[in-house]
Amino acid sequence: MRPIQLFSREYLGHCRSMSAKQIIHFLEDFRKLHQENTRHKSRLISIKVAEPLLQSFKTKARLAGILYQTQIKYLMREWLD
């Protein structure tokens, strides 16, 4: 049996007073929150990058104490947001 979510009258009143923009913002924050906690299947990709660019990126990541591939994925997520 599934649990039932109960909402107070006060909460429902607050929800009714929200603008469409506020609702969209709430839903997007909710999606991001749950997306971060979900492990997604990874895919190996191949990309050509100029050697000096790659070496500089790896060096900067190492000096920051970050794995360079982790930093690439972080930058991809940030760009999408």
pLDDT for res 17: 93
At how many degrees (to 10) do helices 51-63 and 68-80 cross?
Answer: 100
| Nearest-angstrom CA–CA distance, 30 and 18 | 16
pLDDT for res 33: 78
| Nearest-angstrom CA–CA distance, 27 and 21 | 10
pLDDT in tens, 27-45: 888 888 777 666 778 899 9
Reply yes or no on whether the pLDDT at 1 is more than 70.
no
pLDDT for res 50: 97
| Nearest-angstrom CA–CA distance, 37 and 24 | 20
pTM beyond 0.95: the answer is: no
| Nearest-angstrom CA–CA distance, 46 and 48 | 7
| Nearest-angstrom CA–CA distance, 4 and 71 | 41
Q: Which of 18-22, 26-30, 51-55 is predicted with the least confidence, judged by mean pLDDT?
A: 26-30
